[in-house]
Amino acid sequence: MWTRRDFAISLAAAQQASAEPLYFDLHIDTPSRMVSEGLHLGESQPYHCVDIPKMRQGGLNAGFFAVFAPARNITPVEAVKQALKITDLIVEEIKRYPKDLFLATTSQDVLRAKKENKIGILLGVEGGHMIDSSLEVLRQLYRLGARYLGLTHSGNTPWVGAAEYPDGPKGLNDFGKQVVREMNRLGMMVDTSHASDQTFYDAIETSSTPILNTHAACRSIANYPRNLTDDMLKSLAKNGGVLGVAYFSGMLDDAHRARFPELAAIGRQRAEVVKQFKEDHKRLSEELWELNLAEVKLIGQPPISKLVDHIEHAASVAGIDHVGLGSDYDSIGLKLPKDLEHIGKTPNLVAALKGRGFSSIDIGKVMGGNAIRVLRKAEEKAR
Ligand SMILES: [Zn+2]
């Protein structure tokens, strides 16, 4: 029989659940594996970083799934076609699991996901090459649900400079600025991950709403070309934008990345395995997983505290209101901090942030409160 005390306890539990911070990841690369390995979100396997059971375990409310086509060795028309195909694949996959997932396109949808205990999947296009220098294609991608565009990936986009492609333009040319203004008009967020430093500053100067850098870290801690310098972090703060701190171990720890050359032989095996088991998806996943484990055995993983160092640094330079999460899960194998190998392990990150002295309010901002603010600002501007 229920007593008044039981009722009070259950009310407290319900309040605690709704008091859990919004968890909104700015960059998840699982669609790439849905393409290459035929992975399904409803099936949980040890080699998945992201699937429905793990998203539930980690408490994810919403996440941007990356629509990605390679930026090199394919024609721009082929890249547009790939973007359409992957968008379709994600939407069809969402429809398979209506109890758990839905396609989210607004900040209201993100809030609704949390309220209804579902997971809102948003679409983020990773690379300007997928619009083939066409504002019409950009608008169509928006209409299909895309709510950010990463201005570039690693090249092949004539209107924008990339961090890892020195042959391209330095920053945004006139057309690139037009793309940014059109995105502002539509309510599509600008993402400068993979962009050159000059593109980052040009985007901030051109965009009339806050921008995102969905998956990178801090250059003053790890000297990786895509990481943001302290000056960039300060500019991002002035702009009102958010850095989604990425989990990629190579971006977090210079000493760890210096050991990547030791992985060369495994890299060659990886290429072989991909060729050999192209048609046998399950086998391919299993073989790749073994190679991921072999990499960990060889060079280890940085501790979760490394990731917290970057979050703490970004918060100290830009302010806590400008830091979020962009895990990049499922694009980097197990090159991830220890105890954060899949999205179900997110409570370990929350515990590490608490241990470092972050308040519950600040943890809420990092987990998703800041990310949703940028989306809301983009929507307000578009209205
Ligand atoms: Zn990326």
Q: Is pLDDT above 90 for 156? A: no
At 63-112, the pLDDT tens digits run 999 999 988 889 999 999 999 999 999 999 999 999 999 999 999 999 99
Residue 18 has a pLDDT of: 58
Q: What is the mean pLDDT of the chain?
A: 94
Measure the CA–CA gap between 114 and 320, rounded to whole angstroms.
22
Residue 16 has a pLDDT of: 52
Burial 345-377 (b: 16+ CB within 10 A, else e): bbebbbebbeeeebeeebbbbbbbbbbbbbbbb
Measure the CA–CA gap between 216 and 248, rounded to whole angstroms.
8
User: Ligand 1 centre from 150 Cα, in Å?
Assistant: 9
For β-strands 323-325 and 101-103, DSSP reports them as unpaired
Comparing C-alpha atoms, which of 4, 2, 49 is closest to residue 330?
49
User: Ligand 1 centre from 10 Cα, in Å?
Assistant: 42
For the CA atoms of 275, 280, 281, 286, the dihedral, rounded to the nearest 10 degrees, stands at -80
At 176-193, the pLDDT tens digits run 999 999 999 999 999 999
Q: Is pLDDT above 50 for 14? A: no
At 335-381, the pLDDT tens digits run 999 999 999 999 999 999 999 999 999 999 999 999 999 999 999 99
Residue 15 has a pLDDT of: 47
User: Ligand 1 centre from 286 Cα, in Å?
Assistant: 23
Comparing C-alpha atoms, which of 330, 355, 177 is closest to residue 246?
330
Cβ–Cβ under 8 Å, residues 367 and 347: no
Q: Hey, which residues does 71 pair with through a beta bridge? A: none
- The amino acid at residue 276 is Q
User: Ligand 1 centre from 326 Cα, in Å?
Assistant: 10
C-alpha distances in Å from residue 255, one per residue of 130, 164, 245, 319, 333: 35, 20, 19, 27, 19
